[in-house]
Structure 1
Amino acid sequence: MILASKSPRRFEILSNFGIKKIEVVVAEIEEVSDKEDLVEQVVDIAVKKGIEIAKKYPNEFVVSADTVVILDGKILGKPKDCSEAFSTLTSLSGKTHEVVTAYSLINKSKEIFISSFDKTVVKFKKISKQEIDWYIETGEPMDKAGSYGIQGVGAGILIDRIEGEFYNVMGFPISKFVDDLKEHGIKIQNIIEL
Protein backbone atom coordinates (compact mmCIF):
# COMPACT_ATOMS: atom_id res chain seq x y z
CA MET A 1 0.00 0.00 0.00
CA ILE A 2 1.13 3.53 -0.70
CA LEU A 3 0.23 6.31 1.70
CA ALA A 4 0.07 9.61 -0.19
CA SER A 5 0.71 11.62 2.96
CA LYS A 6 3.70 12.61 5.05
CA SER A 7 1.61 12.57 8.23
CA PRO A 8 3.29 10.35 10.82
CA ARG A 9 -0.07 10.00 12.54
CA ARG A 10 -1.74 8.48 9.47
CA PHE A 11 1.17 6.10 9.06
CA GLU A 12 0.85 5.12 12.73
CA ILE A 13 -2.92 4.55 12.53
CA LEU A 14 -2.63 2.34 9.43
CA SER A 15 0.36 0.44 10.84
CA ASN A 16 -1.40 -0.16 14.17
CA PHE A 17 -4.38 -1.46 12.22
CA GLY A 18 -2.10 -4.20 10.92
CA ILE A 19 -1.10 -3.09 7.42
CA LYS A 20 2.34 -4.62 7.06
CA LYS A 21 3.82 -2.80 4.09
CA ILE A 22 3.26 0.93 3.76
CA GLU A 23 5.34 3.08 1.47
CA VAL A 24 5.04 6.83 1.93
CA VAL A 25 4.98 8.81 -1.32
CA VAL A 26 3.98 12.43 -0.87
CA ALA A 27 1.83 14.03 -3.54
CA GLU A 28 3.33 17.33 -4.66
CA ILE A 29 0.13 19.16 -5.47
CA GLU A 30 -1.22 22.59 -4.69
CA GLU A 31 -3.73 21.94 -1.92
CA VAL A 32 -6.51 24.14 -3.22
CA SER A 33 -10.04 23.42 -4.36
CA ASP A 34 -12.61 25.32 -6.36
CA LYS A 35 -15.50 23.66 -4.52
CA GLU A 36 -17.76 25.98 -2.50
CA ASP A 37 -18.74 23.62 0.32
CA LEU A 38 -15.99 23.24 2.94
CA VAL A 39 -16.37 19.45 3.24
CA GLU A 40 -16.31 19.10 -0.55
CA GLN A 41 -13.06 21.10 -0.57
CA VAL A 42 -11.44 18.66 1.84
CA VAL A 43 -12.65 15.65 -0.16
CA ASP A 44 -11.45 17.26 -3.40
CA ILE A 45 -7.94 17.82 -2.02
CA ALA A 46 -7.70 14.28 -0.60
CA VAL A 47 -8.78 12.81 -3.95
CA LYS A 48 -6.32 14.99 -5.89
CA LYS A 49 -3.48 13.66 -3.72
CA GLY A 50 -4.55 10.08 -4.35
CA ILE A 51 -4.98 10.51 -8.09
CA GLU A 52 -1.56 12.14 -8.41
CA ILE A 53 0.19 9.16 -6.80
CA ALA A 54 -2.07 6.50 -8.39
CA LYS A 55 -0.98 7.75 -11.84
CA LYS A 56 2.60 6.79 -10.97
CA TYR A 57 1.67 3.51 -9.21
CA PRO A 58 -1.35 2.12 -11.09
CA ASN A 59 -1.04 -1.41 -9.65
CA GLU A 60 -0.84 -0.33 -6.01
CA PHE A 61 -3.50 0.56 -3.48
CA VAL A 62 -3.04 4.27 -2.81
CA VAL A 63 -4.52 5.86 0.31
CA SER A 64 -4.68 9.64 0.57
CA ALA A 65 -6.24 11.93 3.14
CA ASP A 66 -6.69 15.52 4.23
CA THR A 67 -7.80 16.80 7.64
CA VAL A 68 -9.15 20.22 8.55
CA VAL A 69 -10.64 21.91 11.57
CA ILE A 70 -13.78 23.94 10.87
CA LEU A 71 -14.82 26.71 13.27
CA ASP A 72 -17.65 29.11 12.55
CA GLY A 73 -17.67 28.21 8.85
CA LYS A 74 -13.92 28.73 8.38
CA ILE A 75 -11.16 26.19 7.83
CA LEU A 76 -8.32 26.36 10.33
CA GLY A 77 -5.25 24.76 8.78
CA LYS A 78 -1.76 24.13 10.11
CA PRO A 79 -0.18 27.19 11.72
CA LYS A 80 2.63 28.96 9.89
CA ASP A 81 4.25 30.09 13.15
CA CYS A 82 3.77 30.37 16.92
CA SER A 83 1.76 33.57 16.57
CA GLU A 84 -0.75 31.90 14.26
CA ALA A 85 -0.93 28.86 16.57
CA PHE A 86 -1.71 31.19 19.48
CA SER A 87 -4.44 32.94 17.51
CA THR A 88 -5.99 29.63 16.43
CA LEU A 89 -5.95 28.12 19.91
CA THR A 90 -7.42 31.32 21.36
CA SER A 91 -10.26 31.18 18.84
CA LEU A 92 -10.97 27.52 19.74
CA SER A 93 -11.00 28.15 23.51
CA GLY A 94 -14.35 27.29 25.08
CA LYS A 95 -15.94 26.53 21.71
CA THR A 96 -17.11 23.53 19.74
CA HIS A 97 -15.66 22.82 16.31
CA GLU A 98 -15.66 20.05 13.69
CA VAL A 99 -12.75 17.99 12.50
CA VAL A 100 -13.25 16.65 8.98
CA THR A 101 -10.96 14.06 7.46
CA ALA A 102 -11.52 13.10 3.84
CA TYR A 103 -9.79 10.12 2.27
CA SER A 104 -9.57 8.08 -0.88
CA LEU A 105 -8.47 4.57 -1.77
CA ILE A 106 -7.46 4.13 -5.39
CA ASN A 107 -6.14 1.17 -7.38
CA LYS A 108 -6.22 2.06 -11.07
CA SER A 109 -5.50 -1.44 -12.42
CA LYS A 110 -8.30 -2.98 -10.32
CA GLU A 111 -10.61 -0.02 -11.08
CA ILE A 112 -11.10 0.74 -7.39
CA PHE A 113 -11.98 4.27 -6.40
CA ILE A 114 -13.38 4.99 -2.95
CA SER A 115 -13.76 8.50 -1.62
CA SER A 116 -15.39 9.49 1.65
CA PHE A 117 -15.05 11.58 4.79
CA ASP A 118 -15.85 11.57 8.48
CA LYS A 119 -16.73 14.36 10.93
CA THR A 120 -16.01 14.53 14.63
CA VAL A 121 -17.27 17.27 16.94
CA VAL A 122 -14.70 18.52 19.46
CA LYS A 123 -15.47 20.76 22.45
CA PHE A 124 -12.51 22.72 23.80
CA LYS A 125 -12.16 23.72 27.42
CA LYS A 126 -11.80 27.39 28.23
CA ILE A 127 -8.00 27.74 28.20
CA SER A 128 -5.85 30.54 29.56
CA LYS A 129 -3.11 32.50 27.78
CA GLN A 130 -0.56 30.75 30.00
CA GLU A 131 -1.87 27.30 29.04
CA ILE A 132 -1.76 28.24 25.35
CA ASP A 133 1.80 29.58 25.68
CA TRP A 134 2.88 26.40 27.49
CA TYR A 135 1.26 24.20 24.85
CA ILE A 136 2.92 26.10 22.00
CA GLU A 137 6.29 25.68 23.76
CA THR A 138 5.85 21.89 23.53
CA GLY A 139 6.07 22.27 19.72
CA GLU A 140 3.03 20.06 19.28
CA PRO A 141 0.76 22.56 17.47
CA MET A 142 3.11 23.28 14.60
CA ASP A 143 2.27 20.51 12.12
CA LYS A 144 -1.38 19.98 12.91
CA ALA A 145 -4.65 21.29 11.54
CA GLY A 146 -6.22 23.54 14.15
CA SER A 147 -2.88 23.80 15.99
CA TYR A 148 -3.49 20.83 18.28
CA GLY A 149 -3.08 17.08 18.51
CA ILE A 150 -5.68 14.99 20.29
CA GLN A 151 -3.19 12.16 20.84
CA GLY A 152 -0.54 14.27 22.52
CA VAL A 153 0.05 16.33 25.61
CA GLY A 154 -2.57 18.87 24.62
CA ALA A 155 -5.54 16.56 24.97
CA GLY A 156 -5.53 16.89 28.75
CA ILE A 157 -5.60 20.66 28.93
CA LEU A 158 -7.44 21.52 25.71
CA ILE A 159 -10.25 19.07 25.09
CA ASP A 160 -13.41 18.78 27.12
CA ARG A 161 -15.09 16.06 25.01
CA ILE A 162 -15.48 14.62 21.53
CA GLU A 163 -18.44 13.20 19.64
CA GLY A 164 -17.31 10.79 16.96
CA GLU A 165 -14.21 8.84 16.09
CA PHE A 166 -11.02 9.67 17.99
CA TYR A 167 -8.82 8.55 15.07
CA ASN A 168 -10.60 10.96 12.75
CA VAL A 169 -9.34 13.84 14.90
CA MET A 170 -5.89 12.24 14.87
CA GLY A 171 -5.92 12.29 11.06
CA PHE A 172 -7.50 9.11 9.67
CA PRO A 173 -10.95 7.65 10.49
CA ILE A 174 -9.95 3.99 10.42
CA SER A 175 -13.38 2.72 11.51
CA LYS A 176 -15.17 4.53 8.66
CA PHE A 177 -12.45 3.40 6.25
CA VAL A 178 -12.98 -0.26 7.21
CA ASP A 179 -16.76 0.14 6.80
CA ASP A 180 -16.21 1.60 3.32
CA LEU A 181 -13.96 -1.30 2.35
CA LYS A 182 -16.64 -3.79 3.39
CA GLU A 183 -19.34 -1.83 1.57
CA HIS A 184 -17.29 -2.01 -1.64
CA GLY A 185 -16.65 -5.74 -1.26
CA ILE A 186 -12.96 -5.35 -0.43
CA LYS A 187 -11.76 -7.85 2.13
CA ILE A 188 -9.83 -6.24 4.96
CA GLN A 189 -7.35 -9.14 4.82
CA ASN A 190 -6.45 -8.20 1.24
CA ILE A 191 -5.50 -4.69 2.37
CA ILE A 192 -3.64 -5.80 5.51
CA GLU A 193 -1.54 -8.37 3.66
CA LEU A 194 -0.37 -5.98 0.94
Structure 2
Amino acid sequence: MRAVSWRCVTASDTSFHSTPSLADHRGLSFVLASGSARRIELLRALGFDPIVEPADLDDGALEIGAVSARDAATALAHFKARRVAEQRQARGAEVAWILAADTVCELDGAILGKPRDEAHARSMLRSLEARRHAVVTGWCLLGPDGSCRVGRDEAWIVMGALDPEDFERFLSEGAWRGKAGSYNLPEVVARGWPVSCEGDPQTVVGLPAEKLAPMLRAALARRGVSPCVEDDA
Protein backbone atom coordinates (compact mmCIF):
# COMPACT_ATOMS: atom_id res chain seq x y z
CA MET A 1 0.00 0.00 0.00
CA ARG A 2 1.19 3.50 -0.81
CA ALA A 3 2.38 5.50 2.19
CA VAL A 4 0.27 8.29 3.59
CA SER A 5 1.50 11.74 2.61
CA TRP A 6 2.34 13.79 5.71
CA ARG A 7 2.53 17.52 5.37
CA CYS A 8 2.07 20.83 7.13
CA VAL A 9 -0.45 22.99 5.27
CA THR A 10 -1.08 26.69 5.02
CA ALA A 11 -4.23 27.60 3.14
CA SER A 12 -5.83 31.04 3.04
CA ASP A 13 -6.29 32.17 6.63
CA THR A 14 -5.15 28.82 7.99
CA SER A 15 -1.74 28.45 9.55
CA PHE A 16 -0.61 26.20 12.31
CA HIS A 17 2.49 24.77 13.89
CA SER A 18 3.45 21.61 15.67
CA THR A 19 5.47 21.31 18.84
CA PRO A 20 8.04 18.66 19.78
CA SER A 21 6.96 15.24 21.01
CA LEU A 22 4.51 15.31 23.88
CA ALA A 23 5.13 14.15 27.40
CA ASP A 24 3.25 11.25 28.95
CA HIS A 25 -0.53 11.73 28.57
CA ARG A 26 -1.77 8.51 30.15
CA GLY A 27 -5.46 7.79 30.22
CA LEU A 28 -6.61 10.56 27.87
CA SER A 29 -9.68 10.14 25.70
CA PHE A 30 -9.66 9.64 21.93
CA VAL A 31 -12.19 11.86 20.15
CA LEU A 32 -13.35 11.54 16.54
CA ALA A 33 -14.36 14.98 15.29
CA SER A 34 -16.91 13.54 12.88
CA GLY A 35 -20.38 12.06 12.95
CA SER A 36 -19.68 9.92 9.88
CA ALA A 37 -20.92 6.38 10.44
CA ARG A 38 -18.38 5.20 7.88
CA ARG A 39 -15.40 6.68 9.75
CA ILE A 40 -16.70 5.33 13.06
CA GLU A 41 -17.04 1.83 11.56
CA LEU A 42 -13.53 1.94 10.07
CA LEU A 43 -11.99 2.86 13.42
CA ARG A 44 -14.03 0.37 15.44
CA ALA A 45 -13.10 -2.41 13.03
CA LEU A 46 -9.47 -1.79 14.03
CA GLY A 47 -10.20 -1.86 17.75
CA PHE A 48 -10.56 1.86 18.43
CA ASP A 49 -13.56 3.15 20.38
CA PRO A 50 -13.56 6.93 19.92
CA ILE A 51 -15.81 9.44 21.58
CA VAL A 52 -17.86 10.85 18.69
CA GLU A 53 -18.06 14.64 18.72
CA PRO A 54 -18.69 16.35 15.36
CA ALA A 55 -17.49 19.90 14.83
CA ASP A 56 -20.32 22.44 14.73
CA LEU A 57 -19.06 23.79 11.42
CA ASP A 58 -20.74 24.15 8.04
CA ASP A 59 -18.24 22.96 5.44
CA GLY A 60 -19.77 25.26 2.86
CA ALA A 61 -19.19 28.29 5.07
CA LEU A 62 -15.46 27.69 5.45
CA GLU A 63 -13.22 29.86 3.30
CA ILE A 64 -9.91 28.20 2.49
CA GLY A 65 -8.86 30.14 -0.58
CA ALA A 66 -7.87 28.93 -4.04
CA VAL A 67 -6.04 25.72 -3.20
CA SER A 68 -5.87 22.18 -4.52
CA ALA A 69 -8.21 19.44 -3.37
CA ARG A 70 -5.31 17.91 -1.44
CA ASP A 71 -4.67 21.08 0.56
CA ALA A 72 -8.38 21.85 0.92
CA ALA A 73 -9.13 18.45 2.48
CA THR A 74 -6.25 18.77 4.91
CA ALA A 75 -7.12 22.34 5.86
CA LEU A 76 -10.77 21.41 6.46
CA ALA A 77 -9.70 18.52 8.70
CA HIS A 78 -7.53 20.94 10.66
CA PHE A 79 -10.40 23.42 11.05
CA LYS A 80 -12.62 20.66 12.41
CA ALA A 81 -10.07 19.32 14.89
CA ARG A 82 -9.43 22.83 16.24
CA ARG A 83 -13.14 23.51 16.48
CA VAL A 84 -13.83 20.38 18.51
CA ALA A 85 -10.94 21.28 20.82
CA GLU A 86 -12.59 24.70 21.32
CA GLN A 87 -15.98 23.09 21.96
CA ARG A 88 -14.52 20.81 24.61
CA GLN A 89 -12.58 23.61 26.27
CA ALA A 90 -15.69 25.82 26.38
CA ARG A 91 -17.62 23.27 28.40
CA GLY A 92 -14.69 22.28 30.61
CA ALA A 93 -14.12 18.81 29.15
CA GLU A 94 -10.79 17.10 29.61
CA VAL A 95 -8.07 17.51 26.98
CA ALA A 96 -7.94 14.63 24.54
CA TRP A 97 -6.46 13.28 21.35
CA ILE A 98 -8.70 14.57 18.55
CA LEU A 99 -8.82 13.07 15.06
CA ALA A 100 -10.63 14.92 12.28
CA ALA A 101 -10.94 14.11 8.59
CA ASP A 102 -12.46 15.60 5.47
CA THR A 103 -13.01 14.05 2.06
CA VAL A 104 -13.39 15.86 -1.25
CA CYS A 105 -13.47 14.83 -4.89
CA GLU A 106 -11.64 16.61 -7.68
CA LEU A 107 -12.53 16.62 -11.36
CA ASP A 108 -10.66 18.70 -13.92
CA GLY A 109 -9.18 20.82 -11.13
CA ALA A 110 -12.56 21.60 -9.56
CA ILE A 111 -13.29 20.52 -5.99
CA LEU A 112 -16.51 18.56 -5.45
CA GLY A 113 -17.67 18.42 -1.86
CA LYS A 114 -21.07 17.39 -0.51
CA PRO A 115 -24.10 18.19 -2.69
CA ARG A 116 -26.46 20.96 -1.60
CA ASP A 117 -29.61 19.25 -2.85
CA GLU A 118 -30.87 16.59 -5.26
CA ALA A 119 -30.36 18.76 -8.34
CA HIS A 120 -26.77 19.42 -7.31
CA ALA A 121 -26.20 15.69 -6.71
CA ARG A 122 -27.62 14.88 -10.15
CA SER A 123 -25.33 17.39 -11.83
CA MET A 124 -22.32 16.21 -9.84
CA LEU A 125 -22.82 12.53 -10.64
CA ARG A 126 -23.48 13.23 -14.31
CA SER A 127 -20.16 15.08 -14.45
CA LEU A 128 -18.39 12.04 -12.96
CA GLU A 129 -20.06 9.52 -15.28
CA ALA A 130 -17.67 7.81 -17.70
CA ARG A 131 -14.79 9.78 -16.19
CA ARG A 132 -11.84 9.31 -13.83
CA HIS A 133 -11.73 11.55 -10.77
CA ALA A 134 -9.60 11.91 -7.65
CA VAL A 135 -10.80 11.44 -4.09
CA VAL A 136 -8.72 13.00 -1.33
CA THR A 137 -9.12 12.48 2.40
CA GLY A 138 -7.22 14.89 4.60
CA TRP A 139 -6.81 14.27 8.31
CA CYS A 140 -5.51 16.01 11.42
CA LEU A 141 -4.52 14.45 14.75
CA LEU A 142 -4.55 17.15 17.40
CA GLY A 143 -2.59 16.46 20.57
CA PRO A 144 -3.59 17.39 24.13
CA ASP A 145 -1.14 20.31 24.12
CA GLY A 146 -2.36 21.70 20.78
CA SER A 147 0.34 20.11 18.63
CA CYS A 148 -0.81 18.45 15.45
CA ARG A 149 0.07 16.01 12.76
CA VAL A 150 -1.66 16.33 9.43
CA GLY A 151 -1.70 14.49 6.14
CA ARG A 152 -3.79 13.23 3.29
CA ASP A 153 -4.22 10.22 1.07
CA GLU A 154 -5.47 10.15 -2.49
CA ALA A 155 -7.26 7.55 -4.59
CA TRP A 156 -8.88 7.57 -8.01
CA ILE A 157 -12.29 6.38 -9.09
CA VAL A 158 -13.39 5.47 -12.60
CA MET A 159 -17.16 5.55 -12.94
CA GLY A 160 -18.78 4.04 -16.01
CA ALA A 161 -22.16 4.73 -17.59
CA LEU A 162 -24.98 4.52 -15.03
CA ASP A 163 -28.24 2.65 -15.44
CA PRO A 164 -30.86 5.41 -15.87
CA GLU A 165 -33.55 3.75 -13.74
CA ASP A 166 -31.25 2.96 -10.83
CA PHE A 167 -29.70 6.41 -11.07
CA GLU A 168 -33.11 8.04 -10.62
CA ARG A 169 -33.93 5.65 -7.79
CA PHE A 170 -30.63 6.49 -6.09
CA LEU A 171 -31.44 10.19 -6.24
CA SER A 172 -35.01 9.81 -5.00
CA GLU A 173 -33.85 7.68 -2.06
CA GLY A 174 -31.53 10.48 -0.95
CA ALA A 175 -28.53 8.15 -0.99
CA TRP A 176 -26.38 11.09 -2.08
CA ARG A 177 -26.88 13.10 1.12
CA GLY A 178 -23.79 14.02 3.14
CA LYS A 179 -21.34 12.36 0.76
CA ALA A 180 -18.43 13.92 -1.08
CA GLY A 181 -19.06 13.60 -4.79
CA SER A 182 -22.65 12.51 -3.99
CA TYR A 183 -21.84 8.83 -3.50
CA ASN A 184 -20.41 6.28 -1.06
CA LEU A 185 -18.16 3.68 -2.69
CA PRO A 186 -19.37 0.49 -0.93
CA GLU A 187 -23.00 1.51 -1.41
CA VAL A 188 -22.75 2.11 -5.15
CA VAL A 189 -20.68 -1.05 -5.63
CA ALA A 190 -23.45 -2.97 -3.84
CA ARG A 191 -25.96 -1.41 -6.25
CA GLY A 192 -23.96 -2.75 -9.17
CA TRP A 193 -22.66 0.59 -10.42
CA PRO A 194 -19.68 0.23 -12.79
CA VAL A 195 -16.95 1.75 -10.61
CA SER A 196 -13.32 0.84 -10.05
CA CYS A 197 -10.91 2.17 -7.43
CA GLU A 198 -7.22 2.87 -7.87
CA GLY A 199 -5.71 3.29 -4.41
CA ASP A 200 -7.03 2.70 -0.91
CA PRO A 201 -10.82 2.21 -0.82
CA GLN A 202 -10.81 3.42 2.80
CA THR A 203 -9.63 6.80 1.57
CA VAL A 204 -12.67 7.00 -0.70
CA VAL A 205 -14.97 5.93 2.15
CA GLY A 206 -13.62 8.72 4.35
CA LEU A 207 -10.56 7.69 6.37
CA PRO A 208 -7.41 5.66 5.52
CA ALA A 209 -7.79 3.99 8.91
CA GLU A 210 -5.40 1.08 8.41
CA LYS A 211 -2.63 3.45 7.35
CA LEU A 212 -3.27 5.73 10.31
CA ALA A 213 -3.63 2.94 12.88
CA PRO A 214 0.08 2.69 13.85
CA MET A 215 0.26 6.45 14.49
CA LEU A 216 -2.98 6.40 16.47
CA ARG A 217 -1.86 3.45 18.57
CA ALA A 218 1.46 5.15 19.29
CA ALA A 219 -0.32 8.33 20.35
CA LEU A 220 -2.81 6.53 22.56
CA ALA A 221 0.07 4.54 24.06
CA ARG A 222 1.31 7.92 25.33
CA ARG A 223 4.24 8.40 22.99
CA GLY A 224 3.16 11.79 21.67
CA VAL A 225 3.04 13.34 18.22
CA SER A 226 6.18 14.41 16.42
CA PRO A 227 6.43 17.73 14.53
CA CYS A 228 4.77 18.05 11.13
CA VAL A 229 7.04 16.95 8.33
CA GLU A 230 6.62 16.92 4.59
CA ASP A 231 6.84 13.71 2.63
CA ASP A 232 5.59 13.77 -0.95
CA ALA A 233 7.06 10.39 -1.84
List alignment gaps of at least 5 residues for structure 1. none
Task: Give 1:78's aligned residue.
Answer: 114
- CA offsets 1:109-143 (integer angstroms, 9 cap, x no match): 3x642100000110001114333212213321112
- CA offsets 1:41-77 (integer angstroms, 9 cap, x no match): 2111111111222242662110001000111111111
Task: Give 1:54's aligned residue.
Answer: 85
- Once the two structures are superposed, the pairs formed by residues 1-194 of structure 1 within 5 Å of their partners are 1-20=30-49, 22-29=50-57, 30-55=61-86, 56=89, 59-109=95-145, 112-178=147-213, 181=215, 187=218, 190=221
* 25 and 167 in structure 1: CA distance in 2 versus 1, 3 angstrom threshold: same
Task: Please tell me whether the aligned partners of residues 58 and 107 of structure 1 are also in contact (alpha carbons under 8 angstroms).
Answer: no
Q: Distance in 2 between matches of 1:100 and 1:159?
A: 20
Residue 120 of structure 1 aligns to a residue whose secondary structure is strand
Residue 103 of structure 1 aligns to which amino acid in structure 2? Answer: W
Q: By percentage of residues, which structure has more helix?
A: 1
The structure with the largest alpha-carbon Rg is 2
Q: Distance in 2 between matches of 1:188 and 1:27?
A: 21
Instruction: Work out the percentage of aligned pairs sharing the same amino acid.
Output: 28
Quote how far apart the aligned CAs of 1:12 are: 1.2
Quote how far apart the aligned CAs of 1:164 are: 0.7
- CA offsets 1:142-163 (integer angstroms, 9 cap, x no match): 1201011112145543343111
- CA offsets 1:22-56 (integer angstroms, 9 cap, x no match): 21222223433125233112111111111222242
RMSD: 2.2
* 158 and 188 in structure 1: CA distance in 2 versus 1, 3 angstrom threshold: farther
Quote how far apart the aligned CAs of 1:188 are: 7.1
Q: Please list every run of at least 4 consecutive aligned residues from structure 1 whose deviation after the TM superposition is greater than 2 angstroms.
A: 28-32, 34-38, 54-59, 128-131, 153-160, 186-191
User: Which TM-score applies when normalising by structure 1?
Assistant: 0.85
Higher relative contact order (CA 8 A, sep 6+): 2
User: Which TM-score applies when normalising by structure 2?
Assistant: 0.72
Residue 52 of structure 1 aligns to a residue whose secondary structure is helix
List alignment gaps of at least 5 residues for structure 2. 1-29, 223-233
